[in-house]
């Protein structure tokens, strides 16, 4: 029977990062994964979605080429080669997951292919083998949440209803595409298939992306509508009849139909196989402290399974902190400084408190919003939708939150994360010399606006 210092259950972006870090710090480490290393993110989530979104953006740009001074005489000759898009996506996924396998091997991590069943906190059964461990990191991820709406099971069985997994590998681009749910995943798929030419409708009980800052949410709603995405609010779904959705919209009976219906109503932590641990479970997720410890000594839970932030980069950060704490440190994660990204056209990148949250927490807030329309690089690229909004504490100028809509918002937000991690202020951001011409200059301009006035727009 093999014995380890640390066993990681689950090989997603939290689990494999934790395993590599543990091995780097000298711990004898094993990783157990029942499917493919890389988890949802690398295989059926972040990476394949963004790969297809890039293809869709290229197609969208080609169809609007005249604004760049490029004439395509016959736009109907520009065709989507869906099989080749899929092939490109699969190739990138294969390279990345293959790279992770090599890294695990190079770092000396023992990888077990199979379903890990926890016997107790120090014993795990996988396939026909039993292994022992001093410490256990649970990183079992999550699965798509499926409501118990009448007719939905049959709609899945007949291929009309799909989850995000199936939405990545459809046999063709659907003519009509409906998204049930207005969260990040649903909105990204809406943007993807809208850019590829589908008639897209989002059905949502209330507003989309409710956790975003009000200015960001309202602006993105407007952009999505301008791109032809139909946003329907006040929806109460009664039943599914194959590709038909029978519902009420603000009390009025309605029926919506589509070739494919994406059910995107959140995700549920995977708890199968760890029942014998008697972990503290609340709202379907494992309860952890800021150091990722559970109520069982020597057992940690990271990633989607703890229900904090279902984001790959958060899982990775949690994995490193959990390992460092096992190895004797006392590290904590600050979820207020965790960035979130939405890969629509344009993108959204946010970190920290919204204006509403900051006020609710008792801060005397000062905000500054600078539009992309006043930025030279944005104009040159033909992507002037959006802005940078900074939420700062009025007394000292500490940056409490940054909210960006821009073509490269998901890259730009890293500057804000670093500033907040260093407890930086708007004075620091304004003083930092930003290269020209870049979109990042908008962050500097917004910082100047929080102090006094921005340079490149007139404000009385």
Do residues 353 and 400 make contact, with C-beta atoms less than 8 angstroms apart? Answer: yes
Is 313 catalytic? The answer is no
Structural domains in the chain, sorted by start: 3-144+268-335 (3.50.50.60), 152-265 (3.50.50.60), 346-451 (3.30.390.30)
Q: What is the pTM of this model?
A: 0.95
**Overall average pLDDT of the 271-283 stretch:** 96
pLDDT digits 0-9 by tens, 335-389: 999 999 999 999 999 999 999 999 999 999 999 999 999 999 999 999 999 999 9
- DSSP at 435: P
Distance between CA 171 and CA 163 in Å, rounded?
A: 15
- Quickly tell me which residue has 């190739």 as its tokens: 91
pLDDT value of residue 458:
85
pLDDT value of residue 459:
81
Distance between CA 68 and CA 441 in Å, rounded?
A: 23
Quote the tokens at residue 419.
Answer: 């500033």
pLDDT value of residue 50:
96
Number of Cα atoms under 13 Å in the Cβ half of residue 446: 27
3-state secondary structure of 373: helix
**Overall average pLDDT of the 217-221 stretch:** 96
| pLDDT band, residue 460 (cuts 50/70/90) | confident
| pLDDT band, residue 1 (cuts 50/70/90) | confident
Do residues 212 and 348 make contact, with C-beta atoms less than 8 angstroms apart? Answer: yes
pLDDT digits 0-9 by tens, 12-30: 999 999 999 999 999 999 9
Do residues 26 and 329 make contact, with C-beta atoms less than 8 angstroms apart? Answer: no
Q: Which residues pair with residue 261 across a beta bridge?
A: 161, 178
pLDDT digits 0-9 by tens, 75-133: 999 999 999 999 999 999 999 999 999 999 999 999 999 999 999 999 999 999 999 99
pLDDT digits 0-9 by tens, 138-162: 999 999 999 999 999 999 999 999 9
pLDDT digits 0-9 by tens, 225-274: 999 999 999 999 999 999 999 999 999 999 999 999 999 999 999 999 99
Task: Catalytic residue, from 313, 434, 436, 456: name it.
Answer: 436
**Nearest C-alpha neighbor of 342 from the set 155, 165, 208:** 208
Q: Tell whether the torsion through CA atoms of 325, 326, 327 and 328 is positive or negative.
A: positive
Distance between CA 139 and CA 269 in Å, rounded?
A: 10
| Average predicted confidence (pLDDT) for the chain | 96
Distance between CA 14 and CA 18 in Å, rounded?
A: 6
DSSP 415-454: HHHHHHHTT-BHHHHHHSPPPSS-TTHHHHHHHHHHHS--
Distance between CA 32 and CA 137 in Å, rounded?
A: 10
């Amino acid at each position: 029977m093999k014995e380890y210092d640390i066993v990681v259950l689950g090989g997603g972006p939290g689990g494999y990062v934790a395993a590599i870090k543990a091995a780097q710090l000298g711990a004898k480490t094993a990783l157990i994964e029942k499917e493919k290393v890389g988890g949802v993110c690398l295989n059926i989530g972040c990476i394949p979605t963004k790969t297809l979104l890039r293809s869709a953006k290229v197609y969208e740009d080609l169809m609007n080429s005249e604004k760049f001074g490029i004439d395509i005489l016959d736009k109907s000759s520009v065709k989507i080669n869906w099989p080749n898009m899929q092939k490109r996506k699969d190739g990138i996924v294969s390279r990345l997951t293959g790279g992770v396998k090599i890294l695990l091997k190079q770092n000396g991590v023992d990888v077990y292919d199979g379903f890990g069943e926890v016997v107790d906190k120090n014993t795990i059964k996988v396939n026909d083998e039993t292994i022992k461990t001093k410490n256990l990191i649970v990183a079992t991820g999550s699965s798509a949440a499926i409501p118990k709406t009448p007719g939905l099971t049959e709609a899945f069985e007949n291929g009309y209803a799909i989850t995000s997994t199936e939405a990545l590998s459809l046999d063709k681009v659907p003519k009509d595409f409906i998204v049930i749910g207005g969260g990040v995943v649903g909105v990204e798929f809406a943007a993807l298939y809208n850019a590829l030419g589908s008639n897209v409708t989002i059905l949502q009980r209330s507003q989309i992306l409710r956790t975003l800052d009000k200015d960001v949410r309202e602006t993105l709603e407007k952009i999505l509508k301008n791109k032809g995405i139909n946003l329907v609010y006040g929806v109460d779904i009664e039943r599914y009849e194959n590709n038909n959705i029978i519902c009420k919209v603000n009390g009025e009976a309605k029926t919506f139909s589509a070739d494919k219906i994406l059910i995107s109503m959140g995700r549920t932590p995977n708890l199968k196989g760890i029942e014998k641990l008697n972990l503290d479970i609340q709202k379907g997720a494992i309860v952890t402290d800021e150091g990722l410890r559970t109520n069982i000594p020597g057992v940690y839970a990271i990633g989607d399974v703890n229900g904090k932030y279902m984001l790959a980069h958060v899982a990775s950060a949690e994995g490193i902190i959990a390992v460092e704490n096992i190895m004797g440190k006392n590290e904590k994660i600050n979820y207020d400084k965790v960035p979130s990204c939405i890969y629509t056209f344009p993108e959204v990148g946010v970190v920290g408190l919204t204006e509403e949250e900051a006020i609710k927490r008792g801060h005397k807030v000062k905000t500054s919003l600078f539009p992309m329309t006043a930025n030279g690089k944005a104009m040159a690229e033909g992507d002037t939708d959006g802005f940078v909004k900074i939420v700062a504490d009025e007394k000292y100028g500490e940056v409490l939150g940054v909210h960006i809509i821009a073509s490269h918002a998901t890259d730009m937000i890293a500057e804000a994360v670093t500033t907040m991690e260093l407890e930086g202020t708007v004075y620091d951001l304004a003083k930092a010399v930003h290269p020209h011409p870049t979109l990042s200059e908008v962050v500097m301009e917004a910082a100047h606006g929080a102090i006094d006035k921005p340079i490149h727009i007139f404000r009385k």
